[in-house]
Chain A
């Protein structure tokens, strides 16, 4: 009995106990699970599931400007990336409020423009460095500043999300009501939307730099999407998404350690397995739907 426990301990706790890089990867992943996954739920509710992917390109012009001003300095490039991401999200938000375009459509237009500007800026520099490749991190290369960045962003965004929760829910589900209640179209709903988008941008950019694009977007969206299959209530969905992201993070890191697979894709793969299971057996999934059907017909 004790040997089994010992083996389990070695398998699950051993890697984290022996290696600092495993501990840092774990903390960064869990932090992202707490702050990014709930934001992902709101994104899916707003039908903006692809925002993360768009933003990973939208940061390019800012990164390029940072590079042009300060050379190959990671903080300058990171700062530029955040600025560009915020600007793209803000302008897209303004456009969707002021015109008949939906949020996703205006965002798609804006990120493509940003990408074009970014590529142009970089080629004007003459250098053909893959700036994003240099700036974006990987799960195993998390350093102390990166950890602080993710943790700081997560703390701020969890608190802000809690403060904004009511307004954001109302704004997400019934923006027309909110606007009518306030009597104007440029009301507090607009503020909520903007702050929410800022949170998403800052979370994503911090995630890109510390863990890479796949990890940042994957941990934000996959658990959020599969959490929606399990619950009707929003609060339960938020908790479920965070929990799934955390489970995927721990399992992925351990699998990457024991099976010798690349860590980022393994973590996202684990989130994918959870998604697949959710698709099959969750209340909103495929099997319950089939089992229910005879009742409906009858």
Chain B
């Protein structure tokens, strides 16, 4: 009898302490750091109010060439979870985590995604892995699972919520994919050709059967050859391509000049590696994809 009472007291104390700790957690959101703006948005979707997301490479910033500051190292150190894209997209992120002495969990969001190889072109001696996997919305379903699993690991009591949020968003992604597929399929395959300033839309192009032509390589720092540019101009003229786009964070001079030579005008800005500021057309991943879809379809319809 006495033992039984003791057991009860111990049990209730355990429950109380459990309750208390969840309450404390709910009051203070889980600090999470994401390497760049698009990932930051995805983490916000999965974590909801339970997490406080900080983004290192912010809106309109080039995550390829990001230089972290000591403040960024401090931000990473204060985090319980560090979310990176992987596929060599942000080589500085691992270095930053290491030099800051970050001991917490790291999630590689692209884990399990089937990587695409960049075509080995002139100027690129070897085939490179294309890191821009989020440009295919179906890959982002995998991103959501990875992020949800990572959050659940550091915050087990929220696991169910993360799972629900990720699944709800996955449905949105699949809906978007179906909608995009229908819109692109309505355009004849020969007209699904687009010129962009930087080769970041490989996954999108592969998913929807689009031909993307770019005068620069996959990274923003490579320089094209005269032959490459000449071939592009010939191709634009021959195939009567009218859909020319620039990107939110690169020098538009070359592409503007090139399209002028070929007698076409630059249509609009596409968002590939970074979201826009809150006032822009692409402040979230979903808005970015919808913006790009609308721009691409409108451009291709002129072809």
Contacts and interface: CB of A to CB of B under 8 A. Distances in A.
B62 interface: yes
Interface in A150-165: none
B257 A143 contact: yes
A190 to B, nearest CB: 38
Interface of A: 15, 18-22, 24-25, 123, 126-130, 133-138, 140-143, 146, 212, 253, 256-266
A257 B250 contact: no
Contact of A262 (B69, B225, B251, B257): B225
B226 A128 contact: no
Contact of B254 (A126, A138, A260): A138
Given A133-B221, A133-B251, A262-B222, A128 B227 contact: no
Contact residue range for chain B? 20 to 34
Contacts of A143: 253, 256-257, 260
B62 A129 contact: yes
Interface of B: 57-58, 60-62, 65-67, 69, 122-123, 215, 220-230, 233, 249-251, 253-254, 256-258, 260-261
Given A133-B65, A138-B254, A142-B257, A257 B226 contact: yes
B261 A19 contact: yes
Given A19-B261, A128-B57, 7 more contacts: A19-B233, A130-B62, A141-B251, A256-B226, A260-B225, A260-B227, A263-B224
Contacts of A264: 223
A257 B257 contact: no
Contacts of B250: 133-134
Given A128-B58, A143-B253, A262-B223, A257 B230 contact: yes
Q: Which of A20, A128, A266 has the most CB of B within 10 A?
A: A128
A3 B60 CA distance: 54
Given A21-B261, A140-B254, A128 B230 contact: no
26 contacts: A19-B230, A21-B230, A21-B258, A128-B61, A128-B65, A128-B66, A129-B61, A130-B65, A134-B250, A134-B251, A137-B251, A138-B224, A138-B251, A138-B253, A141-B251, A141-B258, A143-B257, A143-B260, A259-B227, A260-B227, A261-B225, A262-B225, A263-B224, A263-B225, A265-B223, A266-B225
